[in-house]
């Protein structure tokens, strides 16, 4: 069965899309650690990021870099951080999380609650800077 992220890529499940090309896709995390928390994924469905073929893994980081620059311009933050976890969704992904302090950088913190309109506004601002 296709992963939830493959279903997002295929348009079967809605998302707040940021960008895509032929190999990669970026969209807002639905349960954000901070405003602007974005996931960057390869379209090829592979569970563990470290099982990706070198070229695809390298390209994922280059694509994430472009997204990170766009987040940096769109969201007030000191730094856009990068994390790989993968405990919840078995489809390789990089978390890009804009932060202003280390205190904000914790998956254990209560997640930021945003309305649909707020998600849409954040996504539009990041897209504008991509």
Known catalytic residue: 93? yes
Query: Please, which residue, 39 or 122, has the CB nearer to ligand AMP?
Result: 39
Judged by DSSP in three states, 29 sits in coil
| Candidate list 2, 85, 102, 124; residue touching ligand AMP; CB under 6 A | 85
Query: Please, which residue, 4 or 112, has the CB nearer to ligand AMP?
Result: 4
Judged by DSSP in three states, 25 sits in strand
Alpha-carbon 49 to chain mean position = 14
Site stretch for ligand AMP (CB under 6 A), options 40-48, 52-60, 64-72, 79-87: 79-87
Tell me how far CA of residue 40 lies from CA of 27, 29, 61, in angstroms. Answer: 7, 10, 9
| Candidate list 9, 15, 92, 122; residue touching ligand AMP; CB under 6 A | 15
Distance CA 86, CA 66 (A): 22
List residues near ligand AMP by CB under 6 A: 4, 13, 15, 29-31, 39, 85-89
């Amino acid at each position: 069965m296709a992963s939830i992220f493959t279903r997002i890529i295929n348009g079967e499940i809605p998302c707040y899309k940021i960008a895509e090309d032929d190999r990669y896709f970026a969209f807002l995390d639905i349960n954000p650690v901070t405003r602007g928390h974005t996931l960057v994924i390869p379209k090829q469905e592979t569970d563990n990021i470290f099982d990706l073929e070198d070229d695809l893994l390298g390209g994922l980081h280059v694509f994430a870099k472009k997204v990170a620059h766009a987040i940096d311009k769109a969201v007030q933050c000191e730094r856009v951080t990068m994390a790989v976890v993968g405990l919840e969704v078995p489809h390789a992904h990089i978390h890009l999380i804009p932060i202003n302090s280390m205190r904000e950088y914790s998956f254990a913190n209560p997640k930021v609650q945003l309305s649909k309109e707020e998600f849409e506004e954040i996504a539009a601002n990041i897209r504008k800077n991509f």
